[in-house]
Structure 1
């Protein structure tokens, strides 16, 4: 129920969820554009030339399958309710005869293995491991658990109740625990022969990499230290493990407002002895710090004498090859673009990945596929044009590549790239009433913030010409995200792309802004100083976006609104608190608001020399100090099982509005998470958002 508050004691029910007024002639509804197809979890098996993926069809999430040479999409599971249960960890057994997946949880948020009860049933659901026998097409729930990995034959290891469990699908013995050890266990990795299992035991101050052999053999700890060891990767012969080492402990109370290098190293351990040596150390520069883009370190060991890793050291997230014979590193992906979603060919001799580069000037706001031959170093773009290509994998059939494909008007679908021909899979899964033909094509724009920073965005303009149109700034979350010139490869942002399309159809000019702290434009844009709770400099980009819209001939500068989710909700609140004269209305979805508690009160004598200054800046970097001058109407939306942004952020801000006697409207979604696991909840949020902006800006 949505409620508008005019004072702490006077409450008026409102009806924002009602359809837009009958007088508005709409080409498509919010519901129709929200029915975008969304595949995820693409995986392949080289030995049988098979691929599989999960597909979200209006909340009905199922596993799909296809195999060479025709790759005809086939649904394998029968989960036909909008029940909020996601599918993750989809993968084939080594022989391609089984699939395993996890059903339940929210693996895009914290506490991922905790059940999601978006249906608000009296009893909670479970996060469970499921298997599919591809010979019989039989689907079965194996046991509660998460993070499964395949070993030899049809053996599975997985995490359950903090321990590592085991199940052989070919044996009658029930699933049982095989590793119960101190710390948070995870990052399971079987050796190439499937007989040994590497894992990470995170013990807070430090983390260890262990190797399990059998129930009678003690765990072998690899070069235990005071540091944080992570990302174990087996050598092709199974005799060594490469891993990443970062600092452990808590360290001295250094200045909080200074930027410092975050060191990391790559080590190689001999599994038999447990001894390890450092192979590579990151450059001691800010750019050389721990990478924070998709895949993190992206450490791989594809060939006997070659490691692959990702580093930001040249200003872009690029791949490097480490020659273990010469102890030298070589840049594999030169150019001003970022690399993400890396996959290794089954033969270990090449890589495929997505990157925001290509032939067109605005490819900076797209994703295309590229490959690198690891034996020659040859780099090649595999796709081009105005589409979005993401999450590539080699299928095992010659050089066929499976990936997810989208355009500005068509949402994501699985696809196969064979030589230079692309075949879409499952086109029939896009509903007949999905309004692809009525969608606008956004265009890339750039403008300048007040401090001289170049800001990027995509402009959605209504099909009808004319002036004095209302406008809306959309602010993404993350903040390490990038909005694209087409349907996003992230489900949350495919949804906001749908909202932007609906707003454009209603007559709004929409600017989706890629502000500093986002990815895709180099290190200095991604990691600038004085941002978030250390100065909120990125808000300058949001204000510049509003001013850019106000300067467009077709926009009425007195009718500009704003909406955003998560970190975008925070910046929406900042806009309304600081510049209600520019932003006349806003929708703050799951916003981060509380910056006052970003620094814990020191427990001991040692305190950072700038602690008090940092606390003051954190307070001033939030919307809280400026609530008195917040005059624009606002709609607060939050789900109360949010594992990314605590519900308290919105509850506390609403309390402050109550205390100040300020009006607001709100929508609370009980039981759902940050990502609207239930389709009907997502549609409810979408409709509330567009209706609120329509009501106050009147296109």
Structure 2
């Protein structure tokens, strides 16, 4: 039995260093089956953040497929996703450097199959579907610098070689996704939507008879989000829809009414920030295995052909993809609160086999904080009472505890999106803090996914109000219940979460005494005028149409409320961020400098929206720790940073 040493919170020695965080931050995604082999993608910070494709053969041999210099990542919607496909051992992928499509045969070198665009990276591809010797794929064509000069289309091209300009099949809607051809090759379906909607707001599932040219709206429309259409061998079409308020599973047959297959108060679907989600698999014989998000946790369930559901008894709390695997199993990328995501095979009986194990951390379990799902009182945009949700991670260290009578500092974490969610899967970037003596609360504020459409829509017209109210409520709830120190509350977030951080600090009654803004929005007007096509009208719903609602944009922009800003802030920004450009961070930093508010600013060359390079991930984490140590007054062994205007 170890002896617990009383050490100031925040300064506890821990093996979970920034180096360990980077080593553990390989991102697994998109597992799928081809013949007897399994493929998946790995985002590798240690290789400059590139995405490598990996094949595992039946004998257990694991092979990296892409040669040096290639990166299977697409810039469609800027967030990417669905950047590669495989059939018969041949891989097709979008390459990050030039955004062209490449074909890679076993033992060969990647060969481009799309023409070189007029301007570098002007044609981007994603979400391909292989149909015979043809490839159907989204093409996003950039014809100028403005978001209005971007066209999203579905095109068709030969799958085996380059042949000049692809054939355009669908053009006109602002956005298209999920081109899928029926098994007989006669019917094409796709999903489309128009500004100002986002894909989780209003989408339409369209169908076209390729013999007659007739088109029809199969499902979707105002107030309904449809996603993940998949043809079945019998000619039926499965898809997810939130028509009942939750993303559930439905079946459509030509000439018949849409039939519900799985109806639960749980989310099978996820918001399409990235293209290519895979949350259900239909197995031979009619069984359906699906992931379902409920009360802050993910899980797997099976629908039998007779309509009965069975919840599988598995340790998983977060599931990234589900794909068919043989007759009675699925392939999943999934993790638990104490294990990072791995690639696993799960049978319909709940048997589990691991194909790509989570990395062996070599860390005592006593250093791992397990989250607790909490709910707490908050208010809506009109000040009316409501409940909000979060995951709370208490400090955890087997050898150290805080001084008698003291309580730990708290980091309130605000996820991005804002239509995303706090995910209860092991993340060493969280444990980096908890093992040092911080409490961490990851807030599923109103607007988050996983609690139904009505909860998601609480942010409509109320961004900067409901999210801020919930992060304030989470901090005060944990402070008043005695779990954390009310004098040492910090808030951190990236992207949309960075905006919430700034909005929560730009107010006289803020309870926070430190904040960390990772590439967040300071000026809503500037964002409306200068961002990429996918989100260029997103604020219409979250704030109001611009310029008609300009007064609201100004009122809710932290840059216009710096006179209320007194809290020390660290700002971290990628120099090549096209989603939230660096001018957003630079504006708030300059304004705080002018007012002599304590501020630190780190700009990372070569980084886009979110840090991918190992050295930058390490530097950002350690810099933030140094910042809190200086503000809260504890010792740390990381490289110090300069905090301007901070009284020592």
Bucket of the pairwise TM-score, normalised by the shorter protein = 0.7 to 0.9
Aligned counterparts of 2:177 and 2:66: Cα–Cα separation in 1: 37
Of 332, 336, 340, 2:265 maps to: 336
Q: Deviations over 1:629-675 (max 9, x none)?
A: 21111111111011321111101112222333433111111111222
In structure 2, the partner of 1:232 is 179
Post-superposition Cα deviations, 1:365-417, rounded to whole Å, max 9, x if no partner, equal 222123445x654544345346433312113x322322123221221111122
Q: Out of 86, 98, 103, which is 2:90 matched to?
A: 98
Deviation at 1:568? 1.1
Residue aligned with 1:140, SS: coil
Structure-2 separation of matches of 1:412 and 1:625: 41
Q: Give the structure 2 partner of residue 161 of structure 1.
A: 117
Mapped pair 1:63 → 2:53? yes
Given that residues 183 and 235 in structure 2 are in contact (C-alpha distance below 8 angstroms), is that contact kept between their aligned partners in structure 1?
A: no
Give the number of equivalent residue pairs.
Answer: 576
- State whether structure 2 residue 495 is matched by structure 1 residue 566: yes
Name the residue aligned to 2:395.
462
2:375 match: 446
Residues 73 and 423 (structure 1 numbering): CA distance in 2 closer, same or farther, change over 3 Å?
A: farther
Q: Does 1:522 align with 2:448?
A: no
Matches of 1:78 and 1:323 in 2, distance apart? 40
Q: In the superposition, relative to structure 1, how do residues 128 and 452 fare at CA in structure 2: closer, same or farther (>3 Å)?
A: same
Equivalent runs, 1:255-654 vs 2, <5 Å: 264-280=203-219, 282=221, 284=222, 286=223, 288=224, 291=225, 297-326=227-256, 328-340=257-269, 341-345=278-282, 349-357=286-294, 364-372=295-303, 376-385=306-315, 387-395=317-325, 397-418=326-347, 419-427=349-357, 430=359, 432-433=361-362, 438-450=367-379, 451-463=384-396, 464=401, 467-487=406-426, 497-528=427-458, 531=461, 536-579=465-508, 581-597=510-526, 614-654=549-589
From 26, 29, 39, give the equivalent of 1:52. 39
In the TM superposition, residue 76 of structure 1 has moved relative to its aligned partner by 2.7
Quick one: structure 1 residues 342 and 553, their matched pair in 2 at CA, closer, same or farther if it must change by over 3 Å? closer
Report how far residue 56 of structure 1 moved. 4.1
Cα shift at 1:66: 2.0
For 1:527 and 1:377, locate their aligned partners in 2 and report how far apart those are by CA, in whole Å: 30
Q: Which residue of 2 aligns with 1:14?
A: none
Please give the alpha-carbon distance, in whole angstroms, between the structure 1 residues aligned to 2:170 and 2:575: 43
TM-score (norm 2): 0.77
What CA deviation, in whole Å up to 9, does each residue of 1:130-157 have, x standing for no partner? 6251xxxx362324xxxxxxxxxxxxx5
**Which whole-Å deviations, capped at 9, do the CAs of 1:229-280 have from their partners, x for residues lacking one?**
65432121001212345458x9xxxxx9xx9x97654333221332323444
**Aligned partners of 1:162 and 1:185 also within 8 Å:** no
**Structure 2 residue matching 1:59: 3-state secondary structure:** helix
Could you tell me which runs of 5 or more consecutive residues in structure 2 were left unpaired when the two chains were aligned. 1-7, 75-81, 270-277, 531-543, 635-648
Out of 7, 10, 14, which is 1:26 matched to? 14
Alpha-carbon deviations, 1:525-584, whole Å to 9, x = none? 111255455x63321111112211221313221111111111111111112211565100
Change (3 A) 1:199 1:103: closer
Which is greater in Rg? 1
Q: Partner residue of 1:170?
A: none
How has the CA–CA distance of structure 1 residues 662 and 237 changed in structure 2, closer, same or farther, with 3 Å as cutoff? same
Q: Is residue 408–residue 442 contact of structure 1 (8 Å, CA) maintained in 2?
A: yes
Asked if the contact 1:235–1:304 (Cα under 8 Å) also holds between the matched residues in 2, the reply is no
Whole-Å separation in 2 of the counterparts to 1:301 and 1:559: 54
Shift of 1:440: 1.2
Partners of 1:438 and 1:223 in 2: how far apart?
A: 53
TM-score using structure 1 length: 0.72
Q: 1:546 to 1:277 in 2, by over 3 A?
A: closer
Change (3 A) 1:477 1:532: farther
Counterparts of 2:174 and 2:356, CA distance in 1: 47
Query: Does the Cα contact within 8 Å between 2:299 and 2:316 map onto a contact in 1?
Result: no
